């Protein structure tokens, strides 16, 4: 079926069928080792097409959603050859496209500035491996959860310090990214008297924390388990143990943004048609 024919479809059921056909086609292309950037360009090109397919000709949606993130959190978001890539990047773009909106220009900003930025209207959507929590829910609304995680403790690979529990972190230098749940776990160590306040190192992103760990400037880093696994695969660091925190990630929006329900519907569709599992397979397996 020619893609140009999609714009002529007005019946909602026909539109949904064509939309699903397009995304199945993308999935087939990826099965045959389509280059990641080529795939993302394909999704982007089809975004406007599927937006038309989801609406009648009199209800064509041209709204743009500007996403924001904080790179340095692989495999969720990081830079590769100067380009933002990662699971969150690809998932957010696919969700926005599937919901019938245009993807705006990504904004890469400090993690602690993400919520103020969405509240000020500088961005519309936070896609940054952000844990859904009570304090954040008082400020913004989240999509339905799209990932579950716990915190892991990273140490130097093959180093003398090999802790097996939180109690083993007593008296050492601990690092975490500012504003994250990893920082919250590290601050709990300070409150419990295990780690001195001066020995808690805060970083702008976890890439810097992992570098400091490799260089011996910090003894342990507390970070989300999937990110810890990514660092362990690329750097001379290893996961010592996991702190079971039972966290859930969600994408954040302003409380008055009515598009949130559309994004939730799109996320549910991605789970139902297998697209979500394909993305997980690409970035985590």
SS3 247: strand
Cβ neighbours of residue 53 closer than 8 Å, sequence gap 6 or more: 6, 7, 9, 15, 16, 18, 19, 22
Percent share of the chain, pLDDT over 70: 78
The phi-psi region of residue 82 (left if phi > 0; otherwise alpha if psi is between -120 and 50; otherwise beta) is left
Residue 87 has what pLDDT?
99
End-to-end CA distance of the chain: 33
Task: Confirm or reject CATH 3.40.190.10 for domain 3-146+250-284, answering yes or no.
Answer: yes
Percent share of the chain, pLDDT over 90: 78
Total residue length of the chain: 285
| Beta-strand pair 141-142/252-253 | antiparallel
| Of the candidate ranges 28-37, 88-97, 244-253, the one whose mean pLDDT is the lowest | 28-37
> With bands split at pLDDT 50, 70 and 90, how would you rate the model's confidence at 117?
very high
What residue segments make up the domains of the chain, in order of their start? 3-146+250-284, 150-248
Q: CA 232 to CA 200: how far, in whole Å?
A: 21
Average pLDDT over residues 208-222: 98
Does this chain's domain 3-146+250-284 share its CATH topology with 150-248?
yes
pLDDT tens string 12-63: 444 444 444 444 444 444 433 344 444 444 444 444 444 434 443 334 456 9
pLDDT tens string 140-191: 999 999 999 999 999 999 999 999 999 999 999 999 999 999 999 999 999 9
DSSP state of 73: B
Q: Domain spanning 150-248: which superfamily?
A: Periplasmic binding protein-like II (3.40.190.10)
Residue 46 has what pLDDT?
46
């Amino acid at each position: 079926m020619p893609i140009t024919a999609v714009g002529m479809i007005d019946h909602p059921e026909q539109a949904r069928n064509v939309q699903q056909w397009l995304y199945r086609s993308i999935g087939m292309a990826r099965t045959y080792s389509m280059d990641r950037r080529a795939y993302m360009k394909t999704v982007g090109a089809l975004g406007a097409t599927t937006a038309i397919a989801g609406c009648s000709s009199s209800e064509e949606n041209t709204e743009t959603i500007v996403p924001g993130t904080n790179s340095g959190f692989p495999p969720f978001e990081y830079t590769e050859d100067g380009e933002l890539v990662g699971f969150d990047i690809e998932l957010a773009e696919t969700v926005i496209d599937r919901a019938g909106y245009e993807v705006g220009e990504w904004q890469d900003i400090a993690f602690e500035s993400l919520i103020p930025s969405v509240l000020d209207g500088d961005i519309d959507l936070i896609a940054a491996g952000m844990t859904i929590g009570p304090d954040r829910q008082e400020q913004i609304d989240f999509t339905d959860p799209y990932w579950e995680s716990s915190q892991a403790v990273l140490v130097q690979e093959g180093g003398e310090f090999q802790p097996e529990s939180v109690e083993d972190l007593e008296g050492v230098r601990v690092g975490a990214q500012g504003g994250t749940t990893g920082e919250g776990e590290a601050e709990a160590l300070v409150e419990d008297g295990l780690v001195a306040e001066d020995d808690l190192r805060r970083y702008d992103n976890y890439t810097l924390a992992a570098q400091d760990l490799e260089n011996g400037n910090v003894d342990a880093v507390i970070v989300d388990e999937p990110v810890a696994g990514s660092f362990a695969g690329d750097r001379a660091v290893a996961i010592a143990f996991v702190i079971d925190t039972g966290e859930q990630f969600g994408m954040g929006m302003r409380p008055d943004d009515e598009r949130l329900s559309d994004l939730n519907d799109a996320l549910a569709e991605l789970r139902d048609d297998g697209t979500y599992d394909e993305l997980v397979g690409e970035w985590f397996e």
